[in-house]
Amino acid sequence: MKLIDGKQVAAQVIEECKQEIAQLKEQGIAPGLAVVLVGDDPASKVYVGSKVRKCAELGLHSEKIELPADATHEEVLAVVERLNADEKIHGILVQSPPPPQIDEDAIVRAIDPAKDVDGFHPVNVAKLALEDATGFVPCTPAGCMRLLKEAGIETSGAEAVVIGRSMIVGKPMALLLMGKDSNATVTVAHSRTKDLAEVCRRADIVVAAIGRPNFVTADMVKDGATVIDVGINRVEDASAPRGYRIVGDVDFDAVSPKCAAITPVPGGVGPMTIAMLISNTIKAAKLAQ
């Protein structure tokens, strides 16, 4: 069984980004990312903090815009519009989930598609479906694809089962796997799928993006399959320093002995997401010239 080391691949992506940043600097271009945080959700604060820190570490221009939990939809919209017009900013993301008075879909649609480094704007969703390389691919599935590539997993002609159909992970992942660069035969499973275990057992590649701890069990995975675990779930653990630990959507201990390759949680898909965000920001800066 091969453990796919997301930290190592993410470090490699970051190294490539550093070289591109240096080249852009020679042309007088500094890629810039703006991260908008509305409210004080603790997990969102952590995510935003690490994105901004990574930008600083790489010498990227970044802006963190924090709005109070009672900010109005119009106030958030005004921030997005200001950032759309700001030439120093090439990438904009509004951390999810915003407070309930904010219409998240409308905010995503207000972001200039050329600055939508999360890849959630309908224009970028369409570009992904059209396999138009000028679009932005959502960071997490883009990271999963890179992990498969670096691990040397053959996708062409492979049976892939993606569990989950969210716009953030499952659906774009399915599009990427079935695209002409990958050529997998893709099944997308979700909560209404009948006989999920049977469907999963067909898979050479299983991508789990469900949000339920240890959901994928050994009986759902065929011998020699590759498993990509996107899940990030907190489970209580009195023996852990913080009283909880992070587990994936896959029962790693039971599933991993059967696999040809598998991503751990933490240390698998997670580290790839920020790396791909930086990569998308650089792409946005290049396309803006």
Residue 153 beta carbon to ligand NDP: minimum distance, rounded to whole angstroms: 18
Q: Which is nearer to ligand NDP, 79 or 225 (by Cβ)?
A: 225
Task: Single out the residue of 36, 131, 146, 152 nearest to residue 86, CA to CA.
Answer: 36
Residue 268 beta carbon to ligand NDP: minimum distance, rounded to whole angstroms: 8
Instruction: Tell me whether residue 195 is one of the annotated catalytic residues.
Output: no
Q: Which is nearer to ligand NDP, 31 or 248 (by Cβ)?
A: 248
Question: Given 112, 118, 204, 251, which residue is catalytic?
Answer: 118
Find residue 95's DSSP bridge partners: none
Residues 6+ apart with CB under 8 A from 141: 169, 172, 173, 176
Site string for ligand NDP, 236-255 (x = CB under 6 A): -------------x------
Q: Which is nearer to ligand NDP, 108 or 269 (by Cβ)?
A: 269
For ligand NDP, the binding residues in 142-201 under the rule CB under 6 A are 163-166, 168-170, 189-193, 196
209 binds ligand NDP per the rule CB under 6 A: yes
Instruction: Tell me whether residue 116 is one of the annotated catalytic residues.
Output: no
- Packing angle of the helix pair 270-287, 139-150 (nearest 10 deg): 110
Instruction: Tell me whether residue 23 is one of the annotated catalytic residues.
Output: no
**277 vs 152: CA distance, rounded Å:** 23
210 binds ligand NDP per the rule CB under 6 A: yes
Q: Which is nearer to ligand NDP, 71 or 263 (by Cβ)?
A: 263
Q: Any idea of the CA torsion for 13, 11, 5, 161, to the nearest 10 degrees? A: -30
Residue 96 marked in a binding site: no
Q: Count the residues of the shown chain that bind ligand NDP, applying the rule CB under 6 A.
A: 26
98 binds ligand NDP per the rule CB under 6 A: no
Residues of this chain that interact with ligand NDP (CB under 6 A) are: 140, 163-166, 168-170, 189-193, 196, 209-212, 230-233, 249, 269-270, 273
Active-site amino acid positions:
51, 95, 118
Annotated binding site for NADP(+): 164-166, 232
